[in-house]
Structure 1
Amino acid sequence: MKKSLISLALISVVSSPVFAIQNGTALTWAEHDDLVKMNCSGTILAGNWVLTAKHCGKNSSSGVTTVNGLINVESVINNTSTDYALDIGLWKLTTPANTKNITFLSLRNIEEGERIRISGFGAGVGTQALAYAEEIAIPPTEARPEWVTLKIDGKGNTIGGDSGAPYTDLNGLIVGVHNSGGVDAETGINAQGARLHYAKDWILETINGWHFPTIANTPTSGGSVTIEVQSLHADSVIDNATASGDATITGGTCSGATVQPFDICTYTISSNGYEGTVTLDGEQKITINKGRTKPVTPPTPDPETGSGGGGSLGFVSLIAAFGLGLMRRKANG
């Protein structure tokens, strides 16, 4: 009996939520491939931008690690607002990242008592797994309205390396960027970060383009896929997307529309199942069915002339050419 109670107690300890989510509840990176690590955490925006904390800029020379490998950083642009102390930065990548999944940005401000998800890479080195914690927002102070402070409630806490991680609301929209953490045993406060609401104009002016997945797939046998995109343009923009290869824009709320900043709209793309491209604007491209090459069908042999298309006439021509060559050799000999 004692042995059974001891075993039960051990199982209870091992499965305790405290241990299970110390560094967050595990996420499958491939299903959140817009998240990146660089001894901090960050989110891919508009194909080749990374949203992260400004103080993470010291790590930019080492590039960012995506689920598909390393990408170098071309430039770092930090928020320099004189009105608010916003620890937010944008890194421009040398090449777009391959992302099937993206997270949209929200204009709304975080409310008191709201449950916020923080998705980061913990220590951010080696094979540290992607995870998330959920915490509760407390009221902002009058002196720092741009900052959000989060309180733990048994569903995880942030640790080093989570700086720059996105704060997402119950709708899965980014509403903030993580700055720092550390559990205060007396108050239960763990995390603080910048509210995206106060950086919205700077984000639009810096990116001034579409926020979109760079990869999308239709069924291999052919069909259609609906792709959601968000306008991060500084002003309203008129849709001028085009398609090439085995891709055709057949509908969606974006098509022919005038889209306002932060609006989300859709494109419906049809394909026979092979690779094509949707160009939103300039170099902003979505690859449809990446790597699916249409098979090349070999020419069908002519049953009357044989394979190769030359037929018997081609063979006779070869014999004639050979005989002519022999006659010339004799004449010259």
Structure 2
Amino acid sequence: MRDFEYSRAESLDGAAGQLGDGASIIAGGTNLLDLMKIQVMVPGRLVDISRLEDLKGISEHGDGLRIGALVTNSELAADARVRSGWPLLSRAILAGASAQIRNKATTGGNLLQRTRCPYFYDTAMACNKRTPGEGCAAQGGVGRMLAIFGTSEHCLAAHPSDMAVALTALAAEVEIRAADGGIRLVPVRELYRLPGDRPDLETVLGAGEIITAVRLPAPRPQTRQVYKKVRDRASYAFALVSVAVAVEMKDERIASVSLACGGVAPCPWTNPEAEQALIGAAPGDDAFATAADALVAQASCHPDTEFKIPLLRRTLIAALREATGLADSAAANPTTRTPA
């Protein structure tokens, strides 16, 4: 462990004032401390914001909710209002990590956990995310966890958050406080940067900016929300692929749909063409397959991730069948054909 300074922030102004070069915020620390132990991250100063009351609590905000950045994943998943109005979020969080981690991990920290691949963790291997310009060992290496969308020649890493995928599908916004105290709102789907030639820059946060809360829009009781996650083992592994969908039906047709995918990109991945392909369609495997084809059309695979294309197609179709009630019909009628 390298030497570093530690300071406990007494206010948001105090925290922002300490976020100079080489400083990192710490709250739950479930990602940061692991990376410090293996010297992937070596901050010169840790600014502890874990006791700032302004960042705690879940409160009503208009017709929606405001979730403080320090609300733990366990608190958020268990909140009765979240489970009732935004069940997709609760399900995604519960699919994400062990109870011990959920008890410590925070909402802001979950969103800001590092996009990663095995080579990011290995300081003996080239990684542009750790050291810009060093190279990307994943390009000629191995890795079934790599991304298939939004990659570049400089980085193939995928974002690991389940919560961020759900928040993207729910059209949530991130509340960001600038160093001068000003607040701006950024949709979760616009929070992350694609790697391009600077994969070390993962979000749109500027110098001295702090995530203070997440805002959920008004609940839509008429929508049916589904989160499906496929992983190598059933217990708390990162997603190979995941799909979050919120579907509204009207007159037995799909009136609106919002979807986001995880485990396949450096950010929660959205595809307007796939969503548009479903609007006005009657639930059915043909319509779902058309949307799935649109979703995977722009995939760019590493040799080890080609399996993700059919896996993502099947996962999306399964999520849509459940969200539109088609899976219920199939369960009631065992002779109903299910997609291959």
Q: TM-score, normalised by structure 2?
A: 0.28
Instruction: Report which of the two structures shows the higher radius of gyration computed on alpha carbons.
Output: 1
Greater relative contact order (Cα < 8 A, sep 6+): 2
Higher helix share: 2
Higher strand share: 1
Q: TM-score, normalised by structure 1?
A: 0.28
